[in-house]
Chains A and B, each alone.
Chain A
């Protein structure tokens, strides 16, 4: 019967549209299930996981000491030439020459946050920070020197 089949098809078609509309209507009336975030307003309460890869930083302790020995493992591990280690020779109290970092230059604009430098570092001197708002007004601000001025290597780190 052609006409019965036709009416059935029309009925099923209207039913399928109503089923979809019911779902849309459900979310229209249930505001609690909205999951979007109001980003710039919720900056204070934003939470990032510990492993989030935002930017490479070098932690310093309260005496302005870091753990970097200047071994250049991170520089060799980096695929993009993001890190440049500039070394100098310190004179230890015993009068010996000791290799230490002068500057650890980090080009944020080249970094892809691949984490290879962090796992290559033998003394855990660099870690990933949970920052993500990296926009600046001038490109030169993206080239950072990770060690603080006047900082020294921590006692006991080889």
Chain B
């Protein structure tokens, strides 16, 4: 469906943003057709960081392939690993111990806060404010320290294994998380003071990059991008996994559909994650952190699908098994890819400078889009 505004005429300017461009946060290549300073068309070109993760996984066993998925959406590595572990467990029909379930949810929510904090800093930096980046990293560092202590790594943790988690929680975990919650509640006000209330920021975000609820659904947007348009699509609510059905939290919804709505959804989600952590941190059940599984995992012949809510939207893992110890085919439905497809629709008719703000609110992680 090529609309009139999307066709190239004489006098139009075609510019390339990326693959090496500070605003694209990675090797994303956008071919933009401009009429003066107005965007007529945005064409994302992918493939610069394609590592064929899906094909790589076909030669790895069900224990081994989980670590590779940390390299897809590296900001929510835990949640990616979680989706894979869930899918393998579905095939194995393993019951996960309650302690492992709670640990997984705690780690997921901590990862979500860390991811949203980095997004907040990076997005403010896109708009020209450099200080918020350091404010965001200060709080994120606390989460990284917690992760480092329990999982042994700061970014690509590989903590989830089929049947539970790799190791028990560190003795300091509860204390440190409580310290983080106190710090977070103190510092989240600064976020509003510095950025949310700022008049320059609001004028650049409000009414920019409008995406209607119908378009969000038809482009397959999920996560905060779709919730900013008023589409209820939180997998934690709609298809609860682990202990999410027993927890009290709200699905943050905004109806405006512009960049500011998506911004407010993400800030609200951070508060909801804190709410979830507060409910769980004192109620970690005793018991095993791992279910007993065989050394060599073999999934029965068939197809398995699991979905989780990452910091960016719905991540689906689809495994086709032939009965062996390696998957026959793996497909990842990554949230970033679908969210990026809506960028062209959002950006048409806006100015070039606003494109950076729109890309910021989509929270693009390029290795997740390209895999």
Asked if residues A17 and B167 are in contact (CB atoms below 8 Å), the reply is: no
Asked if residues A116 and B148 are in contact (CB atoms below 8 Å), the reply is: no
Asked if residues B141 and A79 are in contact (CB atoms below 8 Å), the reply is: no
Flag whether B43 is at the interface (Cβ < 8 A). Answer: no
Asked if residues B197 and A53 are in contact (CB atoms below 8 Å), the reply is: no
A53 to B159, CA, bound (A): 12
Give the chain B neighbours of A151 by CB distance below 8 A: none
Flag whether B93 is at the interface (Cβ < 8 A). Answer: no
Give the chain B neighbours of A64 by CB distance below 8 A: none
CB within 8 Å for A20 and B194 given contacts A51-B149, A51-B151, A113-B153: yes
Partner of B199, one of A16, A24, A51, A113: A16
Give the chain A neighbours of B156 by CB distance below 8 A: 112-113
Asked if residues A35 and B141 are in contact (CB atoms below 8 Å), the reply is: yes
Asked if residues A35 and B138 are in contact (CB atoms below 8 Å), the reply is: yes
CB within 8 Å for A115 and B197 given contacts A35-B141, A51-B170, A79-B60: no
Which B127-173 residues have a C-beta within 8 angstroms of A?
Answer: 131, 138, 141, 148-153, 156, 158, 161, 166-167, 170
CB within 8 Å for A112 and B67 given contacts A17-B199, A20-B197, A23-B190: yes
Q: Interface 1/0s, chain A 37-52, versus B by CB < 8 A? A: 0000000000011011
Total number of A residues with any Cβ neighbor in B under 8 Å: 25
Flag whether B63 is at the interface (Cβ < 8 A). Answer: yes
Total CB contacts across the A-B interface at under 8 A: 66
Asked if residues A49 and B153 are in contact (CB atoms below 8 Å), the reply is: no
- Residues in chain A within 8 A of chain B (CB atoms): 12-13, 16-17, 19-20, 22-24, 35, 48-49, 51-53, 77-79, 112-116, 119, 128
Asked if residues B199 and A13 are in contact (CB atoms below 8 Å), the reply is: yes
Total number of B residues with any Cβ neighbor in A under 8 Å: 30
Q: What's the nearest-Cβ distance from chain A to residue B275, in Å?
A: 25
Give the chain B neighbours of A49 by CB distance below 8 A: 148-149, 152, 170
Give the chain B neighbours of A20 by CB distance below 8 A: 193-195, 197-198
A91 to B158, CA, bound (A): 40
Q: What's the nearest-Cβ distance from chain A to residue B170, in Å?
A: 7
Partner of B193, one of A23, A51, A52: A23
Asked if residues B193 and A115 are in contact (CB atoms below 8 Å), the reply is: no
Q: What's the nearest-Cβ distance from chain B to residue A73, in Å?
A: 8
Give the chain B neighbours of A48 by CB distance below 8 A: 148
